Amino acid sequence: MLRFLSYMASLALFCLIILIVAATYGLSRINITIPDYRQLANYEPAVTTRLFAGDGQVMMEYAAEKRLFVPIEKIPDMVKNAFIAAEDKHFYSHAGIDYTGIIRAALGNLRNMGKGRRPAGASTITQQVAKNFLLSSELSYTRKLKEAVLARRINKAFTKDHVLELYLNEIYLGNRAYGVAAAAMNYFNKSLDELTLDEVAFLAALPKGPNNYNPKTKYDAAIARRNWVISRMVEDGYVSADEAAEAKERPLKVAEHKNGFLKDTEYYSEEVRRTISNNFGDEALYQGGLIVRTTVDPRLQTIATNAVRKGLIAYDKRHGWRGAETQIEIDDNYRENLKNAKLTAGDETDWQKAVVLKVNKDKAEIETDKGETGIISLSSLKWARHAEKGKNMGPVPSAVTQVLNKGDVIYVQNITKDDKDKIKSFALQQIPEVQAGMAVMDPHTGKVLALVGGFSFAKSQFNRATQAYRQTGSSFKPFVYLTALEQGYSPTDLILDAPFVLDQGEGMPKWKPVNYSKKFYGLMTLRRGVELSKNLMTVRLAQDIGMDKIVEMSKRVGINNHLPPYLSSSLGAADTRVIDMVSAYCVIVNGGKKVPPYMIERIQDRKGKTIYKHEQTPCPFCAADKWDNQDEPDFQVVREQVVDPLSAYQMTSILEGVATRGTGAKLNELHRHLAGKTGTTNETKDAWFVGFSPDLVAGVYVGFDEPESLGRYETGAASALPIFYDFMKEALKDTPDTSFRIPAGIKLVRVNPQTGKPSAPGDTVVITEALKPDFDFNNRQRVIDDDDSLVAAPEQDGSSLQIGGEY
């Protein structure tokens, strides 16, 4: 027996030596592969970049991981206490590893052995930091041993508050939220300091498995876990029993998030996103936690979006019904099939997807994907003529069956006038194929206040205001005439409106531009050439002053840096972007100063340091440490003067005439000081209107992405001007009407608009003309005709003044 005991003791000693050797070797191997924990000293997690509108509202967020970093001193004690109670009650007393917790977990695992349960862990918050930041999530003893070693080292190297800060900002809490601040916004739409006890306890319940406590799918489990956390907080002395009882009684209400971002700013936000990505890189954009202040005005953005959609829908209905995009069988599964049916994106509208259940001559019975039922009456379908090739249409429908069929999946809009009606009325709708771009700017600063890139961002992310280059048509003409005004021409000078033929050289056909009306009106004033958009007058003027000067003007105002020096360019044959045209018109109304468009006011990094600022005007006295009765800093933002201010005002006055008695005369209905110019390209493929009030410039382009005719009569006045009209009507609502600012030196003289001479008794039409101080009616009046000669102006009265004209 003694011999046996001696043998067992020797064997135990041998095993102990082997165990020590193995442990020593294992620890040395682990030490080699353990990551460097010192990187946690400079923790900079991937943080959400946020875009803010001009009024401070959140526009959009971009993130690889949705996280808002909050320093530990800014995290409320109740939040810290809840997580400590739930995850690591001895956090502030242990050395990174809770040995008592390990023994408790081990005993529990022994009791559960063979029951198929996942082994319980005893990871402290420090160990979870080690795992989340430095290790993988594999279930192995090697990883647990590494975790323990790292936890001990982290505990020695960093303060408890720093470790807790790492944990509370890094941990994943479900619903795409990383960190407690993002989770508070995602689940409750609150900041951390707004959370109640029951809400904090729910967040603290999530680290063990967010999917296991999803309040939408596992409400009872979420409530039970939340209440368990509240009980632990009572045990640890963080809250009273009465506070806990009250919190446990509260239902778990999670905020609904359809879209927490600013409405109608998708195109604007995407343009800003591209700008940041191109200049700072994707890492800064998606992980840098940038704070981006933009120039968008949410009110104007919504007005612009609504105006564009209204205009495109109106155009689309003028060209008929293209038919249902898809059909489904009306069987037992039709409701499910309706929900799954795919239509062109129309999420931004208040339309609903619906299916036709029954149809007869007078009405169609429909049901929406939301379960609403109603009818579409024949009287609401007058627009739904069959769309045919060449923008032609069939006859007005005489029966609903000519438009809709059973099983058609369509878009509808609720037009029920009285909520008490038992049967709801719906209107048939379709997503327009035509597109548009619109930009709105402050002409004095260059701020882009609104941007619309198309009918629907969900349908197409291509931005027609900033990415599309289109021929400008007659909207370019003001810069031809502005060039002439700078060269000494006057609004009262006469230009011949008659056939024009240009020999383009051997083997080339002769170029014969025509007016839209195919008519000619003889000698007319320069002003009337713009107001009535006369092509032949514009070409003659361009030839007279020289295309080289017009090319230089185009470059100066930022329309096109490489304008082809051909006479056709004077009629808008070259292309540019909407945003560039709007910026160029800013030069006209602001007195000739160049204001490049900008959308980003300031960018700050995650720590609040400004890394980009648009306005770079030097102001050495603005950075004073304190105010000591010194004068306020006096500085002026200097803008580059690119056009003579007197010539700029003359063009402003002429363009006001366009809006008063020319191709934009519809704007008269608004009874405001407005100005602008229509534009239409060959075969009516592009329609434009760019215009302004004294303090707001807006431009609209309408056309197809693959250029094709908009239709014979779809000119700038018909397609684009109504959008500008609707925008200005709402944008200027409840604001006082103001006149355009007149620079010093301009003489306002009453003249006959037909002859350009001072008004005389008997003139039936008289206008106030803006003339430069050196203009003298006693000198000969410039007349541009085919002989390019200076002759006396013919005596004419104003009775033949034409209202309207080219478009």
| Catalytically active residues, by annotation | 87, 474
CB of 49 closer than 8 Å to CB of 288: yes
The shares of helix, strand and coil residues in the chain, as percent rounded to the nearest 5, are 40, 15, 45
**CA-CA distance, 219 to 251, in Å (whole number)?**
10
Number of residues written out for the chain: 807
Residue where the block lists tokens 């350009």:
756
Residue where the block lists tokens 């289109």:
470
Residue 718 is classified by DSSP as I
**CA-CA distance, 197 to 157, in Å (whole number)?**
33
Question: Which residues pair with residue 367 across a beta bridge?
Answer: 355, 373
**What are phi and psi for residue 49, nearest 5 degrees?**
-85, 135
Q: Which long-range contacts (CB under 8 A, 24 or more apart) does 21-26 make?
A: 26/145
Residue where the block lists tokens 């648009």:
614
**CA-CA distance, 44 to 39, in Å (whole number)?**
10
- Give the burial string for 436-468 (b: 16+ CB within 10 Å, else e): bbbbbbbbbbbbbbbbbbbbbbebbebbbbbbb
Longest dimension (CA), the chain: 145
**CA-CA distance, 477 to 677, in Å (whole number)?**
8
Best CA proximity match to 435, nearest among 711, 710, 716: 710
**What are phi and psi for residue 716, nearest 5 degrees?**
-60, -35
Residue 743 is classified by DSSP as P
Instruction: Tell me the CB-side half-sphere exposure of residue 194, using CA atoms within 13 A.
Output: 9
- Give the burial string for 273-298 (b: 16+ CB within 10 Å, else e): bebbeeebeeebbbbbbbbbbbbbbb
CB of 471 closer than 8 Å to CB of 571: no
**CA-CA distance, 435 to 308, in Å (whole number)?**
9
Tell me the torsion sign for CA atoms 246, 203, 140, 152.
Answer: negative
The full DSSP string for 457-499 is: TTT----TTTT--EE-GGGGHHHHHHHHHHTT--TT-EEEES-
Question: Which residues pair with residue 356 across a beta bridge?
Answer: 366
CB of 706 closer than 8 Å to CB of 435: no
Residue where the block lists tokens 């992980």:
287
CB of 473 closer than 8 Å to CB of 571: yes
CB of 798 closer than 8 Å to CB of 766: yes
